Chain A
Amino acid sequence: MRNFVAVMKDSYREAVDGFVIYVMLGLAVITILAVALISFEPNPADKAFPSLVSNFQQVFRNRGADIEEVGTKVKIGPVVAFTPIALSYSAADIQKLDSGTGYAGKYKMKLTVSPPATAGGRAGGQPRMVGNFQDEALLFPTVVYAWSQPKTPEQTVLMKDPTGGTGEAPPAGKMPQIEVVPDGTDPEELLAKKSAEGGRWLMVAVPKVTPKEAEGVTDEMMADFIKNQFLVHGDIPGVTVTRRAGAAKPNYEFDVEADVPAGAKGWPHAIKYFFGQLTFTESMAFGPAVYFVQDKLVNTIGASVTLLVAVVLTGFFIPNMLRKGSLDLLIAKPIARWQILLYKFVGGLLFMLMVSGLAVGGVWLVMAVRTGNWNPTFLLSIPILTFAFGILYALSTLTAVLTRSAIAAIVVTALFLVFMWGSATVKLFADAWRMAVAKEEDKKGLAYTIIDGTYYALPRYNDMLKLNGQTMVESYCPQSMAKMGRRGDQPSWGPAVGISLAYVGVFLSLAYLRFTTRDP
Chain B
Amino acid sequence: MSVIETNSLRKHYGRIEALKGVSLKVEPGQIYGLLGQNGAGKSTMVKILLGIVKKTDGDAYLLGEPAGTTNVRRRVGYLPEDHQFPGYHTGRSLLHFYGELYGLSRDERTRRMNEALDIVGLKKRADSKIKTYSKGMKQRLGIAQSFFHDPEVIFLDEPTDGVDPVGRKEIRDLLGELKKEGRTVFVNSHLLGEVEMISDRVAIIHQGEMVREGTVADLTRQANRFSIGLADGQEFPAAELKEKGFRVETANGKAEVELPDGQSIDPVLELLWAKGLKLRHLVEQKQTLESVFMQMVDKATDDTDRRAVRKARPVTARRVD
B133-145 interface mask toward A, CB cutoff 8 Å, 1 = contact, 0 = none?
Answer: 0000000000001
Task: Say yes or no: is A5 at the interface (Cβ < 8 Å to chain B).
Answer: yes
Specify the main secondary structure of chain B where it touches its partner. Answer: loop
A336-B70 in contact given A3-B100, A519-B13, A519-B54 (Cβ < 8 Å): yes
B51→A326 contact, CB < 8 A: no
Q: How far is the CA of A212 from the CA of B15 in the complex (A)?
A: 92
A326-B86 in contact given A2-B103, A3-B100, A335-B101 (Cβ < 8 Å): yes
Task: Say yes or no: is A520 at the interface (Cβ < 8 Å to chain B).
Answer: yes
A332-B83 in contact given A14-B88, A519-B54 (Cβ < 8 Å): no
A334→B71 contact, CB < 8 A: yes
Whole-angstrom distance from the CB of A170 to the nearest CB of chain B?
74
Residues in chain A near residue B84, CB distance under 8 A: 323-326, 329
Task: Say yes or no: is A122 at the interface (Cβ < 8 Å to chain B).
Answer: no
A6→B100 contact, CB < 8 A: yes
Task: Say yes or no: is B273 at the interface (Cβ < 8 Å to chain A).
Answer: no
Closest to A12 in B: B88
Residues in chain B near residue A329, CB distance under 8 A: 78, 80, 83-85, 145
Residues in chain B near residue A331, CB distance under 8 A: 50-52
Residues in chain A near residue B125, CB distance under 8 A: none
Residues in chain A near residue B80, CB distance under 8 A: 325, 328-329, 332
A5→B74 contact, CB < 8 A: no
Whole-angstrom distance from the CB of A18 to the nearest CB of chain B?
8
B78-115 interface mask toward A, CB cutoff 8 Å, 1 = contact, 0 = none?
Answer: 10111111111100010001101111000000000000
8 Å CB interface, A312-332 against B: 320, 323-326, 328-329, 331-332
B101→A333 contact, CB < 8 A: yes
Task: Say yes or no: is A13 at the interface (Cβ < 8 Å to chain B).
Answer: yes
Q: How far is the CA of A2 from the CA of B104 in the complex (A)?
A: 9
* A-B CB contact pairs (8 Å), 29 listed: A2-B103, A3-B100, A6-B100, A6-B101, A10-B89, A13-B88, A17-B87, A323-B84, A324-B84, A325-B84, A326-B85, A326-B86, A328-B52, A328-B78, A328-B80, A329-B80, A329-B83, A331-B51, A331-B52, A332-B73, A332-B78, A333-B73, A333-B98, A334-B71, A334-B73, A335-B70, A336-B70, A519-B53, A520-B53
Closest to B75 in A: A334
A333-354 interface mask toward B, CB cutoff 8 Å, 1 = contact, 0 = none?
Answer: 1111000000000000000000
Task: Say yes or no: is B221 at the interface (Cβ < 8 Å to chain A).
Answer: no
Whole-angstrom distance from the CB of B103 to the nearest CB of chain A?
6
Task: Say yes or no: is B47 at the interface (Cβ < 8 Å to chain A).
Answer: yes
Whole-angstrom distance from the CB of A326 to the nearest CB of chain B?
5
8 Å CB interface, A8-23 against B: 9-10, 13-14, 17
B53→A14 contact, CB < 8 A: no
Q: How far is the CA of A323 from the CA of B101 in the complex (A)?
A: 20
A334→B103 contact, CB < 8 A: yes
Closest to B73 in A: A334
Residues in chain B near residue A325, CB distance under 8 A: 80-84
Closest to A17 in B: B88
Residues in chain B near residue A334, CB distance under 8 A: 70-71, 73-74, 101-103
Whole-angstrom distance from the CB of A64 to the nearest CB of chain B?
58
Residues in chain A near residue B53, CB distance under 8 A: 519-520
Closest to B100 in A: A6
B42-55 interface mask toward A, CB cutoff 8 Å, 1 = contact, 0 = none?
Answer: 00000100111110
Whole-angstrom distance from the CB of A16 to the nearest CB of chain B?
8
Residues of A within 8 A of B (CB): 2-3, 5-6, 9-10, 13-14, 17, 320, 323-326, 328-329, 331-336, 519-520
Whole-angstrom distance from the CB of A340 to the nearest CB of chain B?
10
Residues in chain B near residue A323, CB distance under 8 A: 84
Residues in chain B near residue A14, CB distance under 8 A: 86, 88
- Number of chain B residues close to chain A: CB under 8 A: 31
Residues in chain B near residue A336, CB distance under 8 A: 70
Residues in chain A near residue B85, CB distance under 8 A: 326, 329
Residues in chain B near residue A324, CB distance under 8 A: 82, 84
Residues in chain B near residue A320, CB distance under 8 A: 86
Whole-angstrom distance from the CB of A477 to the nearest CB of chain B?
44
Closest to A13 in B: B88
Q: Which 5 A-B pairs have the closest CB atoms?
A: A17-B88, A6-B100, A334-B74, A325-B84, A519-B53
A328→B73 contact, CB < 8 A: no
Residues in chain B near residue A519, CB distance under 8 A: 13, 47, 52-54
Q: How far is the CA of A328 from the CA of B51 in the complex (A)?
A: 10
Q: How far is the CA of A157 from the CA of B53 in the complex (A)?
A: 78
Closest to A14 in B: B88
Whole-angstrom distance from the CB of A276 to the nearest CB of chain B?
46
Whole-angstrom distance from the CB of A330 to the nearest CB of chain B?
8
Whole-angstrom distance from the CB of B156 to the nearest CB of chain A?
12
Whole-angstrom distance from the CB of A214 to the nearest CB of chain B?
75
Looking at B52, B54, B83, B85, the one whose CB has the most chain A CB atoms below 10 A away is B52
Looking at A5, A333, A334, the one whose CB has the most chain B CB atoms below 10 A away is A333
Whole-angstrom distance from the CB of B50 to the nearest CB of chain A?
5
A5-B100 in contact given A334-B70, A335-B70 (Cβ < 8 Å): yes
A333-B93 in contact given A17-B88, A325-B84, A519-B53 (Cβ < 8 Å): no
Closest to B54 in A: A519
A9-B52 in contact given A325-B80, A332-B80 (Cβ < 8 Å): no
Residues in chain A near residue B88, CB distance under 8 A: 13-14, 17
A332→B82 contact, CB < 8 A: no
Whole-angstrom distance from the CB of B137 to the nearest CB of chain A?
16
Whole-angstrom distance from the CB of A347 to the nearest CB of chain B?
12
Looking at B13, B74, B97, the one whose CB has the most chain A CB atoms below 10 A away is B97
Closest to B84 in A: A325
B267-307 interface mask toward A, CB cutoff 8 Å, 1 = contact, 0 = none?
Answer: 00000000000000000000000000000000000000000
Closest to A9 in B: B97
Whole-angstrom distance from the CB of B219 to the nearest CB of chain A?
29
Looking at B53, B54, B89, B101, the one whose CB has the most chain A CB atoms below 10 A away is B101
Whole-angstrom distance from the CB of A261 to the nearest CB of chain B?
52
Whole-angstrom distance from the CB of A346 to the nearest CB of chain B?
16
A13→B70 contact, CB < 8 A: no
Residues in chain B near residue A2, CB distance under 8 A: 100-101, 103
Q: Can you add 20 more A-B contacts, CB < 8 Å, to A323-B84, A328-B47, A336-B70?
A: A9-B97, A9-B100, A10-B97, A13-B86, A13-B89, A324-B82, A325-B80, A326-B83, A329-B78, A329-B145, A331-B50, A332-B50, A332-B76, A333-B98, A333-B101, A334-B70, A334-B101, A335-B70, A519-B47, A519-B52
Closest to A326 in B: B84
Residues in chain A near residue B102, CB distance under 8 A: 333-334
Partner of A520, one of B52, B73, B83, B100: B52
Closest to B11 in A: A519
Closest to B81 in A: A325
Residues in chain B near residue A333, CB distance under 8 A: 73, 98, 101-102
